Amino acid sequence: MDRTRGDNYRLQRREIVNALLAEQDDLLVVTGLGAPAWDATAAGDRDLTFPLWGAMGGAAMLGLGLALAKPDHRVLVLTGDGECLMGLGAFATIAVQAPGNLAIAVLDNERYGETGMQETHTAANVDLAGMAKAAGFVETGTIFDEDAFNVAKAALLENKGPNLYVIKIRADSHPIVMPPKDGVVLKERFRAALA
């Protein structure tokens, strides 16, 4: 088994997030803790982005609640492989609720970036997209290159869901761009932007 795959993937995390969030002014975004939150903030700190702080495993379920509460809005969850592995039960709940406006982009570098870059189970061929498909997601896939990402991007931002795409990205580091850390501020600005 090639244990260095995450170091060899071509897609770059920050470029992927920039591409997903570009010109998406009305998109509701929930980010998992760590790198997804930093990447979304680097793409432009938006009032309609809700970054999680210390709630590992909760991004998909928060996205589900938001999608159910706001069915006329597109909801995108940006999360990592480690967070998805922590909250796999969310896949079943999301599939049963079947919100057509929910999409999940898993930024999979096959590492736990918050705790020292230890390999996650996706480095050993655990298939998150396959699990989501088996749970009943409408559309899933695993992305390795730019052409496939461009197809997946359209699905994540437009197609009826729930959708989940695992985007295999390089296991590299980028400068940390912190969103606000005050949960009350984040909650209030998100609510105000929705009003």
Query: What contacts 157, CB < 8 A, 6 or more positions away?
Result: 20, 24, 27, 74, 76, 103
What is the arithmetic mean of pLDDT over 176-191?
Answer: 87
pLDDT of residue 16: 96
| Structural domain that includes position 151 | 5-194
List of E strands, 70-112: 75-80, 102-108, 111-112
Model pTM above 0.95: no
The total domain count for the chain is: 1
pLDDT number for residue 105: 97
Structure tokens that stand for 68 in this block: 């159910």
pLDDT in tens, 99-149: 999 999 999 987 866 765 677 777 788 899 999 999 999 999 999 999 999
Q: What is the CATH number of the domain that holds 133?
A: 3.40.50.970
Q: What average pLDDT does the segment 65-71 reach?
A: 97
pLDDT, residue 25, reads 85
Confidence of residue 1 (pLDDT cuts 50, 70, 90): very low
Contacts of 101 (CB under 8 A, 6+ apart): 67, 70, 71, 72, 73, 74, 75, 161
Mean pLDDT across 71-93: 93
Residue 26's pLDDT is 92
The answer on pLDDT for 20 being more than 80 is yes
Q: Which two tokens stand for residue 194?
A: 């929705």
CA separation for the pair 80, 30 (Å, rounded): 12
